[in-house]
């Protein structure tokens, strides 16, 4: 097989994916950017007036956008702080010889298999006020503990946190599976050596499992960060960014509200482009850190 | 060879998936080609209302063998854009659905629609069609569209719960409040409200504003007439009265989290006694809890002391009205189709689906099922229908109207701030539409 033939074959197989990627990802991003420079009134067939960066000036002064972005940041930080430690803990637990290991692994992974809408409706129902059969509030009332009268999502102080709990519940299983795969890859001899040196379970976890899991942790973190910045579906179904006054608004739900509900397509595209640029910036930053870390490791080895 | 066949089949299948994007079209019947053709666009995509609409078309074609109607059923959400595009090109449908209001008026300004005033009068339809509904088809006093359907918002209540707790049907705002207090003290949620999607709460604001100041302040504010403003006292006072209701805890807990379905659940489980909702509420009850129907009755939204609005005005809208394009070549035939769409046969079938045909009381009263009739009676007594604000306003302003009302109910904004926000955006929108016109 000649080299040119092989590279041609490679291109041939890549072409469909590349074409659809260009058509459905790259082109729309470029188009969104173009549209964000226009005023596009409702019902007009195409953008009518070029306004340059006017939409971006409006965005910078738009308090709701910054509020939404701050919610994305809260989601990002809490996802890292809640999801990853729990996932590592569960993975470590289930990697040992635990009774019913397969059962627990399946149970924790189940939320990833369920459709987002199902999860959103299920948790929304649990969070409802007592008279609407909200399970959690009813439980708290039965235990005579303080509970939010308007339900968890109806309380402006609890709404965002409640949504984040649901999101975490969903993704812990996913990260757990990643970590389990990582732990499988750690040679058994290292644990043996640690035992011979007199390490207890915590010490061998701290000094063998964690350091060798670092690459997987980084992957998990990157996935979690990107996911948090572009999160949409569960929040949209559960709260639509409300209720009311944007207490659970994310940049994506805000974009939907402006672009689709209000049909202000130009400014909606501006919000979309801003969200894209911010995600891009953060991801490039995190990847940069990763290269940096890798270079440092190489230096130490040499 | 075999591979070529496969490739061809794949390409064909892919093409078949991609190409027919858009609205499905009815095929022309076989046989000799009819001499006259009419294109007809409607938005009745639910199976029952679509059947009634297309049956009417079928009857018309049966009676006029020289005419063929090409029917297109479009999704509600896509329709506004599709029609705007058609109007901008030469591909205008002969007969098309309209909601009336601002969009129909702009088509009239562009001379895109046929003035039907004399045809409607000659056919005797002015006596047949409900005057309040016919108003939606009018622009500056002339008729441009014929309505076929009308839906209205009334206060539904559980008669058994009212009797049990000795509550009488309230006719004033104060009576409504004291009825609610009685029910609340008896451990019953007075009114079910699911306001997550914002439109159910908007009904309260529209009704209160209409009772307080009549329908004119909204017309002036939305149409940017001289002196028209969303900061009109009736809008601010409507916000105050609405917050009076929320402070009196007339609604269930967590109203801004619940959906219309959740709130209906409270009403069905008899945990809540009242619900302000459109006539479609009955169709939903019929499928959810038919046994409850006999306990259900309705009353008109109470009057507010000091309000200058007519007390019987009802909030509602039309979900099917038809206009004829000015470029239609067979206007006589097109009008014949309109007549069939409001004929007795069509109206009877329409009434059976649980909808209210937009015809006079004497025509439709015998056609309606008894629960629908109760709401229809309130409609017949109404001198005017106040269209839902969000159906009348341009989308951005419509959203803000619903958002500010949701905030008023949740207590996170004040009546004056809500009114000021509306007025600010209304001014901006008006300014943009002037400078931004192509």
Which CATH number do you get for residue B272? 3.40.190.10
Q: Give me the residue from A43, A240, A257 closest to B80, CB to CB.
A: A43
- Do residues B29 and B174 both lie within one domain? no
User: Are A41 and B403 an interchain contact pair (Cβ–Cβ within 8 Å)?
Assistant: no
Other beta carbons within 10 angstroms of residue B336's beta carbon come to 17
Strands (E), B142-228: 142-143, 145-158, 189-191
B chain contacts of residue A131, beta-carbon cutoff 8 Å: 189, 252-253, 266, 271
Q: Is residue A2 part of a domain?
A: no
Give the pLDDT confidence score for residue B143 in this predicted structure. Answer: 93
| Average pLDDT over every residue of A5-34 | 89
Strands (E), B201-252: none
B102 in A contact zone (CB under 8 Å): no
Give the pLDDT confidence score for residue A35 in this predicted structure. Answer: 87
Q: Which residue has the tokens 């029917």?
A: B71
User: Are B437 and A48 an interchain contact pair (Cβ–Cβ within 8 Å)?
Assistant: yes
Interface predicted TM-score (ipTM) of this complex, two decimals: 0.75
Task: Return mean pLDDT, chain A.
Answer: 86
User: Are B412 and A245 an interchain contact pair (Cβ–Cβ within 8 Å)?
Assistant: yes
Chain A residue nearest residue B193, CA to CA: A132
B chain contacts of residue A43, beta-carbon cutoff 8 Å: 80-81, 84, 103
- Do residues B244 and B270 both lie within one domain? yes
Give the pLDDT confidence score for residue B438 in this predicted structure. Answer: 33
Q: Using CA of residue A176, residue A179, residue A180, residue A181, what is the dihedral sign?
A: positive
Q: How many Cα atoms within 13 Å fall on the side-chain side of residue B301?
A: 29
User: Are A261 and B196 an interchain contact pair (Cβ–Cβ within 8 Å)?
Assistant: no
Q: Is residue A287 part of a domain?
A: yes
User: Are B399 and A261 an interchain contact pair (Cβ–Cβ within 8 Å)?
Assistant: yes
| Average pLDDT over every residue of A274-280 | 90
**What count of residues does chain B have?**
438
Q: Is residue A14 part of a domain?
A: no
Quick one: pLDDT band at residue A240, thresholds 50, 70, 90? Answer: confident
Q: Could you give the dihedral angle defined by the CA atoms of residues A75, A81, A83 and A84, in that order, rounded to the nearest 10 degrees?
A: 130
CA distance B111 to A95: 75
- Which pair of tokens denotes residue A19? 């074409």
State which of B386, B412, B427 marks the end of a domain: B386
CA distance A136 to B16: 49
Q: Are strands B145-158 and B272-278 parallel, antiparallel or unpaired?
A: antiparallel
- Do residues B192 and B262 both lie within one domain? yes
- Do residues B246 and B169 both lie within one domain? yes
- Least confident residue range of A1-5, A281-285, B88-92, B289-293: A1-5
- Do residues B203 and B272 both lie within one domain? yes
Count A/B contacts: CB-CB distance under 8 Å.
Answer: 100
Q: Is residue A266 part of a domain?
A: yes
Other beta carbons within 10 angstroms of residue A172's beta carbon come to 24
Domain enclosing residue A202, as ranges = 34-301
Q: Is residue A288 part of a domain?
A: yes
pLDDT one-digit tens code per residue, A138-150:
898 888 888 888 8
**Cβ atoms of residues A34 and A41 within 8 Å:** no
Q: Give me the residue from A43, A244, A245 closest to B84, CB to CB.
A: A43
- Do residues B373 and B289 both lie within one domain? no
Give the pLDDT confidence score for residue B435 in this predicted structure. Answer: 44
- Which pair of tokens denotes residue A55? 């939409």
Q: Which of B254, B399, B417 to mutate to probe the A interface, most A CBs <10 Å?
A: B254
CA distance B348 to B59: 14
Q: How many domains does chain B have?
A: 2
Q: Give me the residue from B81, B256, B435 closest to A154, CB to CB.
A: B256
What is the distance in angstroms between the Cα of A295 and the nearest Cα belonging to chain B?
Answer: 48
Q: Is residue B73 part of a domain?
A: yes
The three-class DSSP label of residue A162 is helix
Give the pLDDT confidence score for residue A145 in this predicted structure. Answer: 86
User: Are A264 and B396 an interchain contact pair (Cβ–Cβ within 8 Å)?
Assistant: yes
Q: Is residue B374 part of a domain?
A: yes
Q: Which of B183, B194, B257, B392 to mutate to probe the A interface, most A CBs <10 Å?
A: B257
- Do residues B53 and B121 both lie within one domain? yes
pLDDT one-digit tens code per residue, A88-105:
999 988 887 778 888 888
Q: How many domains does chain A have?
A: 1
Give the pLDDT confidence score for residue B17 in this predicted structure. Answer: 47
Q: Is residue A10 part of a domain?
A: no
B chain contacts of residue A130, beta-carbon cutoff 8 Å: 253
Q: CA angle, A177 as apex, A175 and A178 as ends, to 5°?
A: 65
- Do residues B49 and B143 both lie within one domain? yes
User: Are B252 and A48 an interchain contact pair (Cβ–Cβ within 8 Å)?
Assistant: no
Give the pLDDT confidence score for residue B436 in this predicted structure. Answer: 38
Chain B residue nearest residue A241, CA to CA: B196
CA distance A167 to A234: 8
Between positions 105 and 144 of B, the ones with CB within 8 A of A are none
- Do residues B241 and B198 both lie within one domain? yes
- Mean pLDDT by groups of 10 residues along chain B of 438 residues: 55 48 49 75 84 91 89 80 78 89 79 90 89 87 91 92 93 93 92 91 94 91 88 93 93 89 91 91 82 89 90 88 91 90 88 85 81 86 88 82 92 91 88 51
User: Are A239 and B412 an interchain contact pair (Cβ–Cβ within 8 Å)?
Assistant: no
Q: Which residue has the tokens 């951005």?
A: B396
Which CATH number do you get for residue A95? 1.10.3720.10
Chain B residue nearest residue A244, CA to CA: B407
Give the pLDDT confidence score for residue A23 in this predicted structure. Answer: 92
State which of B386, B402, B424 marks the end of a domain: B386
CA distance B134 to B152: 15
User: Are A42 and B396 an interchain contact pair (Cβ–Cβ within 8 Å)?
Assistant: yes
Q: Which of A16, A126, A131 to mutate to probe the B interface, most B CBs <10 Å?
A: A131
Give the pLDDT confidence score for residue B397 in this predicted structure. Answer: 86
CA distance A121 to A111: 13
Q: Is residue B417 part of a domain?
A: yes
Q: Give me the residue from A41, A45, A150 closest to B254, CB to CB.
A: A150
- Do residues B165 and B242 both lie within one domain? yes
User: Are B257 and A42 an interchain contact pair (Cβ–Cβ within 8 Å)?
Assistant: no
Q: Using CA of residue B228, residue B231, residue B236, residue B238, what is the dihedral sign?
A: positive
A chain contacts of residue B435, beta-carbon cutoff 8 Å: 49
Domain enclosing residue B341, as ranges = 23-150+317-386
Chain A residue nearest residue B398, CA to CA: A262
CA distance B287 to B277: 16
B chain contacts of residue A67, beta-carbon cutoff 8 Å: none
User: Are A45 and B84 an interchain contact pair (Cβ–Cβ within 8 Å)?
Assistant: yes
What is the distance in angstroms between the Cα of A118 and the nearest Cα belonging to chain B?
Answer: 16
B chain contacts of residue A41, beta-carbon cutoff 8 Å: 432-433, 436
Give the pLDDT confidence score for residue B59 in this predicted structure. Answer: 93
User: Are B403 and A45 an interchain contact pair (Cβ–Cβ within 8 Å)?
Assistant: no
């Amino acid at each position: 097989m000649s080299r040119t033939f092989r590279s041609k074959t490679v291109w041939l197989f890549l072409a469909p994916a590349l074409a659809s990627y260009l058509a459905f990802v790259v082109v729309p991003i470029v188009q969104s950017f173009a549209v964000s420079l226009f005023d596009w009134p409702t019902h007009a067939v195409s953008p009518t007036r070029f306004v340059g960066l006017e939409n971006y000036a409006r965005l910078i002064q738009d308090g709701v956008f910054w509020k939404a972005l701050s919610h994305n940041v809260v989601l990002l930080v809490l996802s890292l702080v809640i999801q990853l430690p729990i996932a590592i803990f569960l993975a470590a637990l289930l990697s040992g010889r635990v009774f019913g290991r397969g059962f627990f692994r399946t149970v924790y992974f189940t939320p990833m298999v369920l459709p987002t809408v199902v999860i959103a409706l299920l948790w929304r129902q649990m969070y409802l006020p007592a008279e609407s059969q909200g399970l959690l509030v009813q439980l708290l009332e039965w235990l005579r503990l303080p509970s939010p009268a308007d339900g968890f999502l109806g309380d402006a102080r609890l709404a965002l946190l409640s949504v984040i709990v649901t999101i975490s519940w969903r993704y812990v299983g996913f990260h757990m599976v990643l970590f389990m795969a990582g732990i499988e890859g750690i040679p058994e001899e290292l644990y043996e050596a640690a035992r011979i040196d007199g390490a207890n379970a915590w010490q061998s976890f701290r000094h063998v499992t964690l350091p060798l899991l670092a690459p997987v942790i980084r992957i998990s973190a990157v996935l979690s960060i990107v996911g948090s910045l572009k999160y949409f579906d569960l929040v949209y179904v559960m709260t639509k960014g409300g209720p009311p006054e944007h207490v659970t608004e994310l940049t994506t739900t805000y974009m939907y509200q402006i672009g689709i509900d209000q049909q202000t397509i130009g400014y909606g595209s501006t919000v979309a482009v801003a969200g894209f640029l911010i995600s891009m910036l953060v991801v490039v930053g995190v990847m940069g850190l990763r290269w940096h870390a890798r270079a440092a490791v190489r230096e130490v080895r040499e | 060879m075999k591979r070529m066949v496969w490739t061809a089949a794949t390409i064909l299948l892919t093409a078949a998936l991609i190409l027919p994007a858009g609205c499905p079209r009815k095929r022309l019947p076989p046989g000799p080609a009819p001499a006259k053709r009419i294109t007809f666009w409607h938005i009745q995509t639910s199976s029952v209302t679509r059947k009634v609409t297309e049956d009417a078309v079928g009857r018309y074609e049966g009676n006029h063998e020289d005419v063929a109607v090409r029917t297109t059923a479009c999704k509600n959400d896509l329709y506004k854009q599709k029609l705007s595009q058609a109007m901008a090109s030469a591909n205008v449908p002969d007969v098309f659905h309209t909601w009336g209001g601002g969009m129909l008026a702009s088509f009239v300004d562009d001379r895109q629609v046929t003035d039907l005033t004399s045809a409607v009068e000659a056919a005797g339809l002015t006596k047949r069609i409900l005057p309040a509904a016919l108003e939606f088809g009018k622009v500056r006093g002339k008729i441009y569209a014929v309505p076929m359907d009308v839906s209205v918002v009334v206060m539904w209540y559980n008669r058994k719960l009212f009797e049990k707790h000795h509550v009488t049907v309230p006719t004033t705002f104060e009576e409504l409040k004291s009825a609610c207090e009685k029910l609340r003290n008896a451990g019953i949620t007075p009114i079910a409200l699911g306001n997550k999607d914002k439109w159910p709460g908007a009904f309260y604001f529209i009704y209160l504003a209409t009772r307080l100041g009549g329908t004119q302040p909204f017309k002036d504010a939305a149409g940017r007439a001289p002196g028209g403003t969303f900061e009109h006292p009736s809008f601010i006072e409507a916000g105050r009265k609405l917050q009076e209701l929320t402070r009196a805890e007339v609604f269930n807990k967590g109203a801004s989290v619940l959906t219309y379905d959740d709130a209906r659940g409270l009403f069905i489980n008899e945990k809540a006694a009242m619900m302000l909702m459109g006539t479609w509420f009955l169709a939903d009850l019929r499928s959810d809890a038919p046994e409850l129907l006999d306990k259900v009755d309705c009353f008109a939204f109470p009057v507010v002391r000091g309000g200058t609005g007519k007390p019987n005005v009802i909030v509602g809208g039309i979900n099917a009205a038809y206009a004829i394009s000015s470029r239609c070549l067979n206007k006589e035939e097109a009008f014949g189709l309109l007549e069939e769409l409001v004929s007795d046969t069509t109206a009877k079938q329409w009434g059976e689906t649980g909808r209210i045909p937009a015809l006079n009381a004497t025509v439709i009263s015998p056609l309606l099922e008894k629960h629908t009739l109760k709401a229809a009676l309130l409609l017949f007594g109404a001198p005017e229908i106040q269209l839902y604000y969000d159906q009348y306003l341009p989308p951005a302003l419509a959203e803000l109207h619903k958002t500010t009302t949701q905030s008023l109910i949740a207590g996170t904004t004040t009546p004056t701030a809500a009114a000021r926000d509306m007025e600010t955006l209304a001014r901006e929108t008006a300014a943009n539409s002037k400078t931004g016109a192509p």
